[in-house]
Structure 1
Amino acid sequence: SYGMVIGYCRGDHFPNVLYGYVMLAVIGGLYGCIGGGFLGLGLETTESKQPKWAQLLTEMVAGGMLAWGLLIYQLEWFMTPPRSELWAACLGAAIAMIWYMVRNKFDRALRVAIYSMLGAGFGFSFGNFIQGLGQASGLSYNWWNVMEFILGLSGGIAMAYAVATTKWEKTMQPSRTVQNLSIIFIFLILPLVNYFSGFTEEKIRDLAENLSVSDIDSFVLFQHIEAWLSITLFAAIGIAAWWQRASDRLQKWFSFVMLSSLSLCYTLLALIHKGFFHIELSIKNSITLYLPILFLAVWLGTSITQPWLNSSNSAGNKKIWQLVAGMTICIILIALISIYINNPTDRTPQRF
């Protein structure tokens, strides 16, 4: 829960504002650390070296419960009162994961986790700063979306950089059955879960009322049809590409086809969920930029080459501390700037 933390950043009292930005960096860092850690461990799984997943998950659950109990129930170090304080459980889980990687010498995975943590942590703080600037400018826009996109962009770039600049050994291949089930899960089951949770009758009718749709029943029907067509089309593309992955024509573009089809599927589902195809196009509407952003990301992903990247197996302590120092300075600066551009009200939360 971070809504209250963002509220702290909207004040004009420096300790409160700085606290808000630092805590956003902590929350974003936890996102990046756990996500990057799991990705890194998967990539570092080889025939001779494999994570003991059951042990790792057990340690993470235990670490999460211990940290949550100690920090929240014993020391009462509340970050977001009166909201959920499960950040402490995530912190304990992240520490347990890092300790597992250090103890078992998963240095490559640790490198990905640390870079992802720093990227997502900075991205959350900086994204909220941009949101504050946007709101202060008076421009009518979904600045909350901008903040979330910057969080994802920053964390994603950091994670991609860490993966691209790490020397990986040959990853162990799962069995064919596991791979086939994974493809079905990713391309079919997960989109269906999103569909059944996001396209309920009540939600679609509420959307129709917000869009002032006259024929609500037809709108509901078309929403379901559009969602089903998107899921079916891109699931078929992904699964077909998987079955034909060994062909000479597809081998070069296999990863591109798989990632693009999955990304397009979720992007279209998001657009349909927002009623994008039933509203006037406007640059003021943030969902208008979903597809251009996706196409830009695809173009960058296929255009950038790696010769200039230096590979490494370790986290690089000197560089890490330099990044931490740079992040700290940036967060202090944006907190100082924020207290001069904010326009707090009586409802602006105060932590101290």
Structure 2
Amino acid sequence: MTLVDRIGRSAFVGLAVGLGWGIRGDFGHNVGAMYPGAALGLAFCYVGGQRSLFSWMPVLAALSALAIGSGGTMSYGILHGYAQSDTFVNYGYGFLTLFFQGAAWGTFGGALIGLMLERRPMSTSDWLGLAGSIFIGGWLIGFAMIRLLGFQINPPRNNSSIVFMGAAIGQLVWLACNRRPVGLRGGLLGYVGFGLGMAGGRLLGNLANVMQGEFGFTINHWNVMEVSCGLIGGFVFTFGMVDRPYPEPPKERNFTLSSAYGILFVLGLIPLWHRVARVVPGEKLRSWTEALRSSGHPDPELWAQTILPMIDAACLFGFVGAAVWLAAHLKGRSRWAPLPILWLSGTMLLFQNLNALYFFTPGKAEHVDMHLVFWVIFGLMILYVAFADPRPAALPDTAGGDEHRGRFVAWGLATLAAFALILVLAGWINGEVTMRSANTRWPEWSWRDGPFPGR
């Protein structure tokens, strides 16, 4: 696998997860995070180019969706506010906690993908040991930080992210102690990739704020951050995982049934869950009608009532994709490997655009419409599928423990260097524009109070 090929495969996964994370911003919480989690598993299996990964795809996508989706309970809005301040102690704290929270978001999905691809299968006792380590790690760190030290990560919000950070440490310790190199690789790459993605995405969001202040356009800096988080996280994870072959799944009837459930969940139930949990008809009809009326639409009530069945049709489209994927999966047609990620991305893009009234309201002048950016990302994904033909890694995975340890050390050093660069650039980028919505913690002070005390 050439470096250019490896970068191209990683970029495709980055685009898929970046699109998912950007759309997730409209829905939030656990159900919203399931989509980019599923996109990570689907896109990684596709670019791996291996028949074995095509067979694993439904299970890996479903597990990744559930694992990354679990992070949706973490509160992180105020942490982004800290990272927008112009004092080092505040933005340094903001970027550091965002790194740890992004890491806790990505590591569980990455580790599950790696564990399923281990050559030595996990036993029931292994799964119980891993679950126990995750629980103990989360409880110990939560108890020590919150109960003993009285530390609140982002008052007045909840402290669940501290528990997730501890659980991530417990998971990585178990993987290292039980000699699960592929699981550890996936967990570490998910950790550093999405940690740098969350912190780096916030930095790019800050830069977007500065640029719109300087050049007179507007852009949703939250969408910039979210897309960048998924793009960086998906790229880093894939770059470290795609250059090796993976074993075939077990030839058991239960695995075929699990695959069918995974297909139904990923393409059918995830969009439907968004519809049930995030589109409340009464509330949406009122908000859609008001938005259409304010934009000058000639018949806002009629069109608002039309949007809901359109969203339902998008959900039905997801179930149609699940049926097609299931047929291809049962027949072992690995040439259909790009279909699931494109189908899920297209379904969720239509869902989000309809919900946001993108097709029914005019664009704003001098505004970078992130909905258009989402379509550009989707178009780039289609172009990759049309012109690229990912081939499997040719060499056997014979790397020993020394090689793994060497790579882990290199990843750690590269992560420290990248985070240091983020802090340096933040000191240059953060300023009057980025601090309008910033939060400060040391000292107690609001931007509305005027210049920083002592200046």
Give me the TM-score of the superposition, normalised by structure 2: 0.70
Measured in 1, the distance between the counterparts of 2:231 and 2:285 equals 29
Query: Are residue 351 (structure 1) and residue 441 (structure 2) matched?
Result: yes
8 Å Cα contact 1:238-1:262 kept in structure 2: no
Measured in 2, the distance between the counterparts of 1:20 and 1:32 equals 18
Which of 115, 131, 154 aligns to 2:232? It is: 154
8 Å Cα contact 1:18-1:331 kept in structure 2: no
Q: Which residue in the other structure is 2:241 paired with?
A: 163
Measured in 2, the distance between the counterparts of 1:309 and 1:337 equals 45
Measured in 1, the distance between the counterparts of 2:198 and 2:146 equals 23
Which of 163, 170, 173 aligns to 1:99? It is: 173
> Could you say what secondary structure the match of 1:98 adopts?
helix
15-24 vs 282-291, greater mean Cα deviation = 282-291
Which of 185, 197, 210 aligns to 1:136? It is: 210
Measured in 2, the distance between the counterparts of 1:166 and 1:333 equals 35
- Point out where structure 1 has 5 or more consecutive residues left out of the alignment: none
8 Å Cα contact 1:227-1:269 kept in structure 2: yes
Question: Cα 1:252–1:288, aligned 2, differ >3 Å: closer, same or farther?
Answer: same
> Could you say what secondary structure the match of 1:253 adopts?
helix
- Point out where structure 2 has 5 or more consecutive residues left out of the alignment: 1-74, 443-455
Structure 1 residue 305 displacement after superposition: 4.3
> Could you say what secondary structure the match of 1:277 adopts?
coil
CA deviations 1:297-319 (Å, max 9, x no partner) are 34336627468998657361332
Q: How does 1:161-200 map to 2 (within 5 A)?
A: 161-172=239-250, 174-200=254-280
66-75 vs 218-227, greater mean Cα deviation = 218-227
Q: How does 1:248-327 map to 2 (within 5 A)?
A: 251-281=333-363, 284-300=368-384, 303=388, 305=390, 314=404, 316-327=407-418
Question: Cα 1:16–1:278, aligned 2, differ >3 Å: closer, same or farther?
Answer: same
Query: Are residue 80 (structure 1) and residue 154 (structure 2) matched?
Result: yes
Query: Are residue 12 (structure 1) and residue 90 (structure 2) matched?
Result: no
Query: Are residue 232 (structure 1) and residue 316 (structure 2) matched?
Result: yes
Question: Cα 1:171–1:54, aligned 2, differ >3 Å: closer, same or farther?
Answer: same
CA deviations 1:118-167 (Å, max 9, x no partner) are 12111212211121122122221111101000000000111212220244
> Could you say what secondary structure the match of 2:368 adopts?
coil
Q: Which residue in the other structure is 1:126 paired with?
A: 200
333-342 vs 47-56, greater mean Cα deviation = 47-56
> Could you say what secondary structure the match of 2:250 adopts?
coil
Structure 1 residue 206 displacement after superposition: 1.1
For residue 153 of structure 2, what is the amino acid of its counterpart? M
RMSD between aligned alpha carbons? Answer: 2.7
Q: Which residue in the other structure is 2:53 paired with?
A: none
Query: Are residue 27 (structure 1) and residue 108 (structure 2) matched?
Result: no
8 Å Cα contact 2:112-2:186 kept in structure 1: no
8 Å Cα contact 1:127-1:151 kept in structure 2: yes
For residue 184 of structure 1, what is the amino acid of its counterpart? L
CA deviations 1:159-179 (Å, max 9, x no partner) are 212220244333335532222
Query: Are residue 328 (structure 1) and residue 406 (structure 2) matched?
Result: no
Measured in 1, the distance between the counterparts of 2:327 and 2:230 equals 31
Measured in 2, the distance between the counterparts of 1:348 and 1:49 equals 45
Measured in 2, the distance between the counterparts of 1:298 and 1:343 equals 35
Measured in 2, the distance between the counterparts of 1:8 and 1:48 equals 43
CA deviations 1:227-259 (Å, max 9, x no partner) are 122222232133123224455xx8243211122
Percent of aligned pairs with the same residue? 21
